[in-house]
Amino acid sequence: MEEPKFLLPETAEDWRNSKLRLLGQYREDKASRDNELATLRNQLADAGKRTGAFGELGKRSAEKELRDYESRPFMDEDALLKNLEARFRSREQEYITKEGRVILERREDNIRRGRCLNGIRRLVVFHNRPFVCFISVPIEDGPEQVAYVTDSLAQMTEKELEALDAAGF
């Protein structure tokens, strides 16, 4: 998997460190799971060698235990890394939104994916870099949530660009 692009260099460094720790733990867990599966398969093979009702009960019990163990969810490596990236991206965006110095803010009413949302579009400066943050605020009960953060000037409105120019950026 190619390394994702984050908005802040410190996020990328933290992601790399967490990725190494997570993959190490994942590989240990996978080896442990593989060993447990091998043990259960051996128990099934041993149960199949027995005869009579006792052997049949042992075989059924071993088959059920193996099926139950195999049906337990176990994420693959790519899914695990995508999950990690999403968590880091979300944390980074929330950090920029909360810690950035607000230059301009305006409320918007939107309808997205069939749900009505009020939104807050915020222009912030963080580490001397401008960012546009959109915070979705559900009309019904629910917490505010950072929908996206971008540093792309192309995504900024004229008012936001003028505010940046007035602020000396």
Strand order across the beta sheet in which 145-150 lies: 101-112, 115-126, 129-138, 145-150
Q: What is the pLDDT along the chain (169 residues), one digit of tens a residue?
A: 678 899 999 999 999 999 999 999 989 988 998 888 888 888 878 877 777 777 777 778 878 887 887 787 777 888 889 999 999 999 999 999 999 999 999 887 765 555 656 788 999 999 999 999 998 877 777 788 888 899 999 999 999 999 988 988 7
Helix axes 9-49, 77-99, angle to 10 degrees: 150
